C-alpha cells in the first residue's frame, strides 16, 4: 500500500494543539472520530493508551508513531499530526515530539498494520523527509512529500 493512498486531506492536521501525552492522544483520536474514521472511540482510546503503557511510541528525532490493534476501527486508519511546538511524549531520546503518525488497525489486519508501520519507520529514517514535513505550509504540500518519499 502506498502512503499517498493511506493518508489524505482528512487525516492530516498541521497545527494540533500540543499538551500532555494522554490529552494530545485524546485530541488526535477525537479528530479522527469526528471524521467518522473510528467506529468506537472509547475502545480505540483504551487500546492506544494500553499500547503506550507497554513502551512509548515516541521513537526519537521529534517523532512518535502511536498505534494499536483495535476492534474500534473497521479498517486501517492512518493520520499525520504536527504541532508547531513539541510536546513531551516520553520519547526514547527524551526530546519533545512534533510529528505524530497514528496507525489504527483492526485486530484481523495485523499484517497490513505491520507493513505500514515498517514503511513509515523507514521513511522517518530520512532526515530530509522529517525536515520537509516540518516546513510544509499546507496539507497539499505534505501529501506531495508523502507521495515523493513514500510511494517508492
User: pTM of this prediction?
Assistant: 0.93
List, for residues 27-57, the tens digit of each pLDDT value. 999 999 999 999 999 999 999 999 999 999 9
67 catalytic per annotation: yes
Superfamily of domain 3-146 in CATH is Mannitol-specific EII; Chain A (3.40.930.10)
pLDDT bucket at 117, cuts 50 / 70 / 90: confident
CA Rg, the chain, in Å?
A: 14
Would you state the cell numbers that stand for residue 77, as one nine-digit string? 486508519
In the chain, domain spans = 3-146
Question: Residue 77 contacts by C-beta under 8 Å, 6 or more apart in sequence?
Answer: 11, 32, 37, 38, 102, 103, 104, 105
List 21, 67, 82, 113, catalytic entry = 67
Amino acid at each position: 500500500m502506498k502512503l499517498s493512498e493511506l493518508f489524505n486531506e482528512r487525516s492530516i492536521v498541521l497545527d494540533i494543539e500540543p499538551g500532555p501525552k494522554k490529552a494530545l492522544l485524546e485530541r488526535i483520536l477525537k479528530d479522527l472520530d469526528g471524521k467518522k474514521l473510528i467506529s468506537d472511540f472509547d475502545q480505540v482510546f483504551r487500546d492506544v493508551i494500553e499500547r503506550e503503557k507497554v513502551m512509548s511510541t515516541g521513537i526519537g528525532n521529534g517523532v512518535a508513531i502511536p498505534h494499536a490493534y483495535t476492534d474500534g476501527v473497521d479498517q486501517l486508519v492512518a493520520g499525520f499530526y504536527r504541532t508547531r511546538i513539541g510536546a513531551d511524549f516520553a520519547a526514547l531520546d527524551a526530546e519533545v515530539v512534533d510529528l505524530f503518525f497514528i496507525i489504527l488497525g483492526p485486530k484481523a489486519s495485523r499484517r497490513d498494520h505491520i507493513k505500514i508501520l515498517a514503511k513509515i519507520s523507514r521513511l522517518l529514517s530520512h532526515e530530509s523527509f522529517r525536515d520537509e514535513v516540518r516546513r510544509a505550509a499546507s496539507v497539499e504540500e505534505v501529501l506531495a512529500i508523502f507521495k515523493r518519499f513514500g510511494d517508492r
